[in-house]
Structure 1
Amino acid sequence: MTRLGRWTALTAAAALLTAGCSSGSSGDDKADEGESSARPSAAAPSGVPESLASQTPDWGRCKATAGSPAPGDDWQCATLKAPLDWAKPDGETIDLALIRAKATGDQRIGSLLFNFGGPGGSGVSMMPSYADTVSSLHERYDLVSWDPRGVAASEGVRCRSDEAIEDAESVDSTPDTAAEEQAYLKDAADFGQGCEKAAGKLMAHVSTTDTARDMDLMRHVLGDEKMHYFGISYGTELGGVYAHLFPKRVGRVILDAVVDPSADTMGHAENQIRGFQRALDDYLESTGQDPEQGSQKIAGLLKRLDARPLPTSSDRKLTQTLALTGIVLPLYSKDGWPALTSALAAAEDGDGSELLALADGYNERDPSGRYGTTTHSQRVISCLDGKQRPTVEETKKLLPRFEKISPVFGTFLGWDTAGWCHDWPVAGQHETPEVSASGAAPILVVGNTGDPATPYEGARRMADELGKEVGVVLTWEGEGHGAYGSGSDCVDSAVDAYLLKGTVPKDGKVCS
């Protein structure tokens, strides 16, 4: 069980279907005329050696990746070099994979950089599939994204083999006995050791702060004086950290599906328990069920699966953990609710195939048994960011509170706090991220009242921490993870007006 919602559901649902590209260009493709010799005029990050500050991306045709065809001719890929250790910027470097589609119109504003969440989501793979959603922005912006350090084509970390991932499905993530607790914690420690072996020295240099500094180098190399940015889910935390580090370089910044920057490890768990239970209640009401009774029925199914996993159409079993993961995915979007109804009915009839398929979608497992590495990168990054390492005893004290909030999600996300960074090889950096950005231009913070993974309350807290006259909240009374492009003309028009014209909506504006 991974931390739910730290990777945007848009990525999760599309993980096996989106087009991708490599970080490099094809050998016979040339950079756009004038780019190879033109030095960006934008202010360079301080302390960056000339060899990095003066680099120009060699944009070329994107290549296909395993399981994904190359995107269309509008897309270009390149590699950016960044310091491995930002405390030693003139030392060893790493390669970061970039992708872009140039602005289609004449009145170009600049680059609009996207991070789709995680941490651990691949922007290189996701950006082409998201282009239709942001088509109204493409005329005036180059659409740009990247694989952050430690992710996918940017020296992505794989902590465990596909076979070992599948073997770990038998580990009980809500242990009831001392033996199950021991197995759960051993599996967590083994995962961390696998990450350390795979990542090596990179393990200590994949923090959100490191990536925010990469972004400022990217801004400079792309030739932008200001950072124009669209962050979703975890991408909102990254955007907040960037604004804190470089407030005077903030241009037009959107934070959608907002992570609560004031929450520590236990606080994030409680937020998500409330958020997913709220979404489940809304789903149950939509099907004519009483939310309390419906939740207890689902909790009963999960309890039965804890003792006896269900058969499926394959040789794999539907465990309690896989079932919970399968329930989570369709809660990210109202469009997924019919699939949840069907899968729950099938499970009640003794067939776990549909819930297993939903779980595999969340876990990036393809039909051949190959898994994506998003959750590997996610864990490496978040365990370097967060300093807290809750013990089993601390977790057990909070379980009754979590289970009262949600009989479905409370136990799972409670235990996750103990196992996620258990016996982690690298110390965490902070209790909570610093996002105060006094002096920055207004940042538009978009919250959705029905968001399961990043509950609405986080939007107001982000705005408050960004600072007075910086954080501006736009509320959508809707369902699903994220607001922009989710069906609200009110939200879309407000975001477009801000990004295209610089029109800042009134703080507290509500779209119903």
Structure 2
Amino acid sequence: MSGVLRIRSRLSACAALLAALVLTSCSPGTPLPNPLDPSESTDPPSATPSAGPTDHPDRPAPAVPDVEPEGFVDPPPGTGMARYHDQDVTWLPCGAALCADVSAPLDHDEPDGQALTLRMLKVPATAEPRLGTVFVNPGGPGYPGTSLAAGFDRTGLEQYDVVGWDPRGVGASTPVTCFQGEDLDAFTAMDTSPDDSAEEQALIVANRSFGQSCLERSGPLLEHISSVQTVHDLDLLRVLVGDERLSYVGYSYGTYLGALYAELYPDRVGRLVLDGAVDLSRTSETIQAQGFDRSLTAFAEWCVAQRCSLGESPTAVVEQVTRVFDQTDVQPMPTRSDRQLTQSLAVTGVISRLYSEARWPGLLQVLELAREGDGSGLLFYADEFNERGADGRYGQSAFAFPATSCVDTADGGIEDALQDWERAQEVAPVFGRYGGPALTCPVWPVEPDVWQEPIRGAGAPPVLVVGTTGDSATPYEYAVAMAEQLESAQLLTLEGEGHGAFRQGTPCIDGAVVRYLVTGELPPPGTRCRE
């Protein structure tokens, strides 16, 4: 979504909170040292307001190939949505948890058409009385909720089943696929902040090629992975686990799913926690790059306080970082492997360390290496962020993120994206500039499917919005605005650094969120917690 997670031409313009909650427990490569109520209506809300074909002037309109993505299945017996609500759910052992595959319509407006598969993972409740299910989503878009649920800290929530699902197009839920390996290496490494018309044109061609590769491999799935469809899936899953109302914890882009659920299904809302809120209105004057610029400044201030070697003032430290970006633009930096560090990979490597204060020591270490002409550390972090494995293959979110973002984005075309980039550089001199223009979606090969009406959640029970003042990926202004826009929302603030607050080590935040989920009690208005 352009106003939520601004996708640039490189795949990982931004990552979800999953990077902090899940990926830190992974080890891709060798690290550097220290581095339902049946009485309710069975049909989803009808007539989704959509962007329509009047915008996005540069999107090609190729024929959708007749391919059958992995996970396409026949619909369950019956007709209409009842056929999906009545399907059997078989939970099978899945590590220390339970997993189940269920069917959902490819298009919720046509429940008697093609079906796809959704994967759920459940960690069962261990205390009585049972409170039902709390669904969890890590954001992205394009990141698997099953991974989040498997490692979710359930302290205080033992009366809940914790369920995560891989949204459509993601992970084990009928995944989007695109070109891989060396082709994707070349795409992620290319110059994303063009200095002239030739580089600009190369970027446009590369993005068109990437999108076409996704269409050729994913076919009709690519047209049906919008957030609106995912929210309808979420309500179906609520029915299938037997809950009358939805309880939910969503991070980052997951806050958009939760807010949209409150808009589409206000009478089915239970307790919603929306942490690391996105730009719900899509009209905020604050852009994501400003959040990363602020976090880079905070890192620089910390670095100076540590008497680090990068500079004696925050300005000097930031200049050292941009010097690396400029050097790799002129000449890619050698690494300890047969690959080189390009400017786009250097930018990605730095961004990956700005999601939490705990990552700053690692950023300092790899910047010191880069200053000496060794790009290995930044390349490692860029690969980790891009989910590139040691075998050269990328994680599936590399495809699901742009695919979902672009079907959720009503763009104004290439020229509009270039103008946006110019404006971004004025308000975010570092990442507004080096992030480059957002050219993936303007040339994406399918039309967008965007909910255009204001999202207010009228009639929904109280919703808890959580925002962090130093959030890099979703600036705090977004949380303030979301809490104001949702009619029943209340804001809980963490004064500190990092993307997302719940389960990040602040007892004040954790206690307030758990209390709300268990009892429904909101924290006092204006509550501010400190790290």
Normalising by structure 2, what TM-score?
0.85
Q: Does 1:459 align with 2:479?
A: yes
Q: Does 1:5 align with 2:7?
A: no
Identity value in percent = 39
Residue 67 of structure 1 corresponds to none
TM-superposed CA distance for 1:412, in Å, is: 3.2
Q: Does 1:506 align with 2:529?
A: no
Q: Does 1:412 align with 2:434?
A: yes
TM-superposed CA distance for 1:221, in Å, is: 0.9
- Partners of 1:218 and 1:225 in 2: how far apart? 11
| Residue pairs, 1:320-339, within 5 angstroms | 320-339=343-362
TM-superposed CA distance for 1:10, in Å, is: 2.1
What amino acid does structure 1 have at the position aligned with 2:511?
Answer: S
CA contact (8 A) 1:472 1:506 kept: no
What amino acid does structure 2 have at the position aligned with 1:5?
Answer: C
Q: Alignment partner for residue 188 of structure 1, among 207, 212, 220?
A: 207
CA contact (8 A) 1:494 1:505 kept: yes
- Partners of 1:292 and 1:49 in 2: how far apart? 58
Q: Does 1:155 align with 2:174?
A: yes
SS in 2 for 1:156: coil
- Partners of 1:263 and 1:375 in 2: how far apart? 24
Residue 128 of structure 1 corresponds to 150
TM-superposed CA distance for 1:295, in Å, is: 1.8
Cα displacement string for residues 398-422 of structure 1 (whole angstroms, at most 9, x for unaligned residues): 444422333321123341x2x1213
Question: Which stretch shows the higher mean deviation, 398-407 or 167-176?
Answer: 398-407
TM-superposed CA distance for 1:177, in Å, is: 1.9
Residue 269 of structure 2 corresponds to 250
Cα displacement string for residues 99-157 of structure 1 (whole angstroms, at most 9, x for unaligned residues): 1011001211100001101110011233212x2x23321x1100101111111111111
Cα displacement string for residues 270-315 of structure 1 (whole angstroms, at most 9, x for unaligned residues): 5211100111111110111533332222112211110111100000
User: Runs of 5+ in structure 1 lacking a partner?
Assistant: 19-38, 63-70
Q: Does 1:274 align with 2:274?
A: no
What amino acid does structure 2 have at the position aligned with 1:124?
Answer: T
Residue 125 to residue 272, structure 1, CA distance change in 2 (3 Å):
same
- Partners of 1:91 and 1:387 in 2: how far apart? 26
Q: CA RMSD in A?
A: 2.0
CA contact (8 A) 1:61 1:76 kept: yes
What amino acid does structure 2 have at the position aligned with 1:480?
Answer: G
Q: Alignment partner for residue 500 of structure 2, among 482, 486, 495?
A: 482
SS in 1 for 2:129: coil
Residue 140 of structure 2 corresponds to 118
Q: Alignment partner for residue 113 of structure 2, among 79, 82, 91?
A: 91
- Partners of 1:433 and 1:480 in 2: how far apart? 31
- Partners of 1:480 and 1:433 in 2: how far apart? 31
What amino acid does structure 1 have at the position aligned with 2:302?
Answer: S
- Partners of 2:37 and 2:266 in 1: how far apart? 20
Question: Which stretch shows the higher mean deviation, 433-442 or 142-151?
Answer: 433-442
- Partners of 2:480 and 2:245 in 1: how far apart? 25
| Residue pairs, 1:29-178, within 5 angstroms | 43=40, 45-46=42-43, 48-62=80-94, 71-72=95-96, 75-129=97-151, 131=152, 133-137=153-157, 139-178=158-197
TM-superposed CA distance for 1:466, in Å, is: 1.2
| Residue pairs, 1:23-34, within 5 angstroms | none
- Partners of 1:108 and 1:412 in 2: how far apart? 50
CA contact (8 A) 1:5 1:454 kept: no
What amino acid does structure 2 have at the position aligned with 1:465?
Answer: Q
What amino acid does structure 2 have at the position aligned with 1:238?
Answer: L
Q: Does 1:359 align with 2:378?
A: no
Residue 95 to residue 340, structure 1, CA distance change in 2 (3 Å):
same
Residue 26 of structure 1 corresponds to none
TM-superposed CA distance for 1:227, in Å, is: 0.3
Cα displacement string for residues 439-478 of structure 1 (whole angstroms, at most 9, x for unaligned residues): 10000000000110011111111112212xx110000001
Residue 340 of structure 1 corresponds to 363
- Partners of 1:103 and 1:309 in 2: how far apart? 52
CA contact (8 A) 1:121 1:147 kept: yes
CA contact (8 A) 1:60 1:77 kept: yes
User: Runs of 5+ in structure 2 lacking a partner?
Assistant: 1-9, 29-35, 45-79, 305-311
CA contact (8 A) 1:42 1:220 kept: no
CA contact (8 A) 2:228 2:451 kept: no
- Partners of 2:241 and 2:434 in 1: how far apart? 43
- Partners of 2:485 and 2:92 in 1: how far apart? 40
TM-superposed CA distance for 1:496, in Å, is: 0.8
Q: Does 1:430 align with 2:450?
A: yes
Residue 66 of structure 1 corresponds to none
CA contact (8 A) 1:263 1:432 kept: no
Residue 338 to residue 122, structure 1, CA distance change in 2 (3 Å):
same
SS in 1 for 2:120: strand
SS in 1 for 2:136: strand
CA contact (8 A) 2:11 2:188 kept: no
Q: Alignment partner for residue 439 of structure 1, among 455, 459, 468?
A: 459
- Partners of 1:396 and 1:87 in 2: how far apart? 35
- Partners of 1:4 and 1:203 in 2: how far apart? 20
What amino acid does structure 1 have at the position aligned with 2:24?
Answer: A
SS in 1 for 2:513: helix
Residue 96 to residue 474, structure 1, CA distance change in 2 (3 Å):
same
- Partners of 1:195 and 1:395 in 2: how far apart? 21
What amino acid does structure 2 have at the position aligned with 1:281?
Answer: T
Residue 35 of structure 1 corresponds to none
Residue 24 of structure 2 corresponds to 14
- Partners of 2:25 and 2:192 in 1: how far apart? 24
Q: Does 1:227 align with 2:243?
A: no
- Partners of 2:496 and 2:335 in 1: how far apart? 34
CA contact (8 A) 2:12 2:386 kept: no
Residue 277 to residue 431, structure 1, CA distance change in 2 (3 Å):
farther
SS in 2 for 1:286: helix
SS in 2 for 1:338: helix
TM-superposed CA distance for 1:328, in Å, is: 0.7
- Partners of 1:12 and 1:397 in 2: how far apart? 36
CA contact (8 A) 1:148 1:154 kept: yes
Residue 249 to residue 17, structure 1, CA distance change in 2 (3 Å):
farther
- Partners of 1:40 and 1:395 in 2: how far apart? 45
TM-superposed CA distance for 1:397, in Å, is: 3.5
Normalising by structure 1, what TM-score?
0.88
CA contact (8 A) 1:365 1:372 kept: yes
- Partners of 2:512 and 2:164 in 1: how far apart? 23
